[in-house]
Structure 1
Amino acid sequence: MAALAATPGRSATTDRSAITNRVETVTVRQPPRPTVQTYPHAGVIDQPRRVTSGQNTVPSGRQGPWGAFTRGDGEAAGFGPVGIYGDAPWAEDWSFLRDRSLAKDPFDPLKFIALNKARTIWLTLSGETRLRNWYEGRPYLGTRGTPGAGRFAVRNLYGADLHLGAHVRLFGQLINGDAAGWAGYGYNGTYRKRLDLQQGFVEVTGGMLGARTGLLVGRQQFLDAPSYVLYNRNTPNVPLSWNGVRGYAIWQRVRVDLYDFVGTNINESKMFHDDEDWGTRLHGLDMTFAPGPIRLGREELKTYLDLFAIGFRLAGAGAAVPYRASTLSGSTTRQNGGFRWYGGSPSFEFSVGGLYQSGTFQDAKSGAIRDVAAYSVNTTAGYRNPRSHWHPFIGGQFNLYSGGDSRSRTGTIGTYIAPFNPQTNYLDTTAYIAPSNLITVSPVLRVTPLSYLSFQLKSPFLWRDDVNDRIYSSSGAYGFTPSGGFVGVIPQTALTLQFGQHLSWTQYAARFIASNGMSRAGAQSGNYYQSNVVFRF
Structure 2
Amino acid sequence: MRSRSSYQWVLTLGADLHLGKHFRAFGELARGPMDGKNIGLPSGTLSNKLLVQQAFVDGTTEIGQVDVGARVGRQVFIDGANLLVANRDNNTVQTSLTGVRAWARGSTLRADVFDLYYTTYGNGGIGDDPIDWGRRFSGVTTGIVLPKQLLGGAKLYLDPFVWRLRNRAVTWGAEKAREERTYVGAHLWGDVGRFTIDWTTNHQGGRYGDRPLDAWQVLLAGTYRLGKANTAPRLGLHFDYATGGGAYDGSKLRNAFAPYGNNIYYSYQGYLTPTNLVALAPSLTVSPTRTLRVTGEYQFTWRDTVSDAVYRSNGTPFTGTAGVGGRRTVDVARLQAIWSVSPRLSFTGRLEHAFAKSGLTAAGYQDSSYAALWASFRF
Give the alignment's TM-score, normalised by structure 1: 0.67
Q: Structure 2 counterpart of 1:287, which letter?
A: T
1:333 has 2:175 as partner: no
Note the alpha carbon deviations across 1:366-417, whole angstroms, 9 max, x for none: xxx21111110011122113435851110210000000134412x3101111
In the aligned structure 2, how far is the partner of 1:157 from the partner of 1:245? 23
More strand per residue: 2
Rate the CA distance shift 1:315–1:444 in 2: closer, same or farther, 3 A. farther
Q: 2:171 aligns with which of 320, 324, 335?
A: 320
CA RMSD of aligned residues (A): 1.8
1:391 has 2:232 as partner: yes
Q: 1:418 aligns with which of 240, 246, 258?
A: 258
1:453 has 2:292 as partner: yes
In the aligned structure 2, how far is the partner of 1:373 from the partner of 1:534? 41
1:506 CA drift (Å): 0.4
User: Where does residue 381 of structure 1 map in the other structure?
Assistant: 222
In the aligned structure 2, how far is the partner of 1:448 from the partner of 1:399? 26
1:265 CA drift (Å): 2.8
User: Where does residue 309 of structure 1 map in the other structure?
Assistant: 162
Q: Give yes or no for contact 2:165–2:259 (8 Å, CA) kept in 1.
A: no
In the aligned structure 2, how far is the partner of 1:371 from the partner of 1:332? 10
Alignment of 1:286-301 (within 5 A): 286-294=141-149, 296=151, 300-301=153-154
DSSP-derived class of the 1:357 partner: strand
User: Where does residue 532 of structure 1 map in the other structure?
Assistant: 374
Q: Give yes or no for contact 1:455–1:493 (8 Å, CA) kept in 2.
A: yes
Q: Give yes or no for contact 1:294–1:302 (8 Å, CA) kept in 2.
A: no
In the aligned structure 2, how far is the partner of 1:491 from the partner of 1:332? 35
Q: Structure 2 counterpart of 1:243, which letter?
A: T
In the aligned structure 2, how far is the partner of 1:194 from the partner of 1:478? 29
Q: Structure 1 counterpart of 2:317, which letter?
A: A
In the aligned structure 2, how far is the partner of 1:490 from the partner of 1:355? 25
In the aligned structure 1, how far is the partner of 2:353 from the partner of 2:67? 47
Larger RCO, structure (CA 8 Å, separation 6 or more): 1
In the aligned structure 1, how far is the partner of 2:176 from the partner of 2:278? 26
User: Where does residue 327 of structure 2 map in the other structure?
Assistant: 485
Q: 1:255 aligns with which of 83, 89, 110?
A: 110
Q: Give yes or no for contact 2:72–2:99 (8 Å, CA) kept in 1.
A: yes
Count of aligned residue pairs for this structure pair: 376
DSSP-derived class of the 2:10 partner: strand
Structure of greater Rg: 1
Q: Structure 1 counterpart of 2:228, which letter?
A: R
1:405 has 2:252 as partner: no
1:273 CA drift (Å): 4.4
Q: Structure 2 counterpart of 1:196, which letter?
A: L
Q: Structure 2 counterpart of 1:321, which letter?
A: W
1:359 has 2:206 as partner: yes
Give the alignment's TM-score, normalised by structure 2: 0.94
Alignment of 1:92-491 (within 5 A): 147-294=2-149, 296=151, 300-315=153-168, 319-322=170-173, 327-362=174-209, 369-387=210-228, 390-409=231-250, 411-420=251-260, 422-475=261-314, 476-481=316-321, 482-491=324-333
Q: Which consecutive unaligned segments of at least 5 residues does structure 1 have?
A: 1-137, 139-146, 363-368
In the aligned structure 1, how far is the partner of 2:230 from the partner of 2:164? 45
Q: Structure 1 counterpart of 2:160, which letter?
A: L
Q: Which consecutive unaligned segments of at least 5 residues does structure 2 have?
A: none
